[in-house]
């Protein structure tokens, strides 16, 4: 089970609390977690990744166990502590503005 923390506006949109749990089959990679998230909550499609290119939207960041995976390829394995559900995978709205 992968634990995921969404930013406020996406929690509201998906009608979920701060943290959700996802079942991810096979390798626990960055892309697989996002695939599972969008499959379980279709309303989030297009809000984290571009519909067409599947690229991360510019003001979204992915943090996992103290690492910034925002620029990592989709097949990047998640750190063990996140892959085993010990700590959550963080999807974050980037800092912008003053």
Partner 1 sequence: MSNIRVLVGTRKGAFIMTSDAKRNRWDISGPHFAGWEIYHLKGSPADPNRLYASQSSGWFGQLIQRSDDGGKTWEAVGNKFIYDGIPGTHQWYDGTQHPWEFKRVWYLEPSLTDQDTVYAGVEDAGLFRSRDGGQTWQEFPGLREAKGNLWQPGAGGMCLHSIIQDPSNPNRMYIAISAAGVFRTDDGGQKWLPANGGLISPYELPDPSAEVGHCVHGIAMHPSRPDVLYMQKHWDVMRSDDAGKSWHEVSGNLPSDFGFPIAVHAHEPETIYVIPIKSDSEHYPPDGKLRVYRSLTGGNEWEALTKGLPQSNCYINVLRSALAVDSLDPCGVYFGTTGGQVYASANAGDSWEPIVRDLPAVLSVEVQTLL
In the complex, the residues that contact partner 1 under the rule CB under 8 A are 7-10, 12-13, 43, 45-48, 51-52, 57, 59-60, 93-94, 96
Least distance (Å) from partner 1 to the CB of residue 6? 10
Beta strand extents in the chain (DSSP E only): 2-5, 19-22, 60-64, 67-68, 89-93
Least distance (Å) from partner 1 to the CB of residue 94? 7
Minimum CB distance to partner 1 smaller for 39 or for 94: 94
Minimum CB distance to partner 1 smaller for 24 or for 60: 60
Least distance (Å) from partner 1 to the CB of residue 17? 17
Q: Any bridge partners for residue 5, and if so which?
A: 19, 90
Minimum CB distance to partner 1 smaller for 28 or for 49: 49
Which residues, including other chains, have CB under 8 Å from residue 4's CB and lie 6 or more apart? 19, 20, 21, 22, 33, 37, 88, 89, 90, 91
Do residues 4 and 88 lie in contact, with contact meaning Cβ atoms separated by under 8 Å? yes
């Amino acid at each position: 089970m992968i634990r995921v923390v969404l930013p406020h506006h996406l929690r509201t949109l998906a009608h979920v609390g701060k943290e959700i749990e996802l079942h991810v089959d096979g390798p626990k990679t960055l892309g697989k977690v996002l695939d599972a998230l969008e499959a379980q909550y279709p309303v989030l499609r297009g809000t984290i990744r571009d519909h067409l290119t599947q690229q991360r939207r510019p003001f979204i960041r992915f943090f996992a166990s103290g690492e910034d995976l925002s620029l990592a390829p989709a097949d990047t394995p998640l750190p063990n502590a996140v892959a085993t559900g010990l700590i959550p995978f963080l999807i974050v709205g980037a800092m912008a503005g003053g």
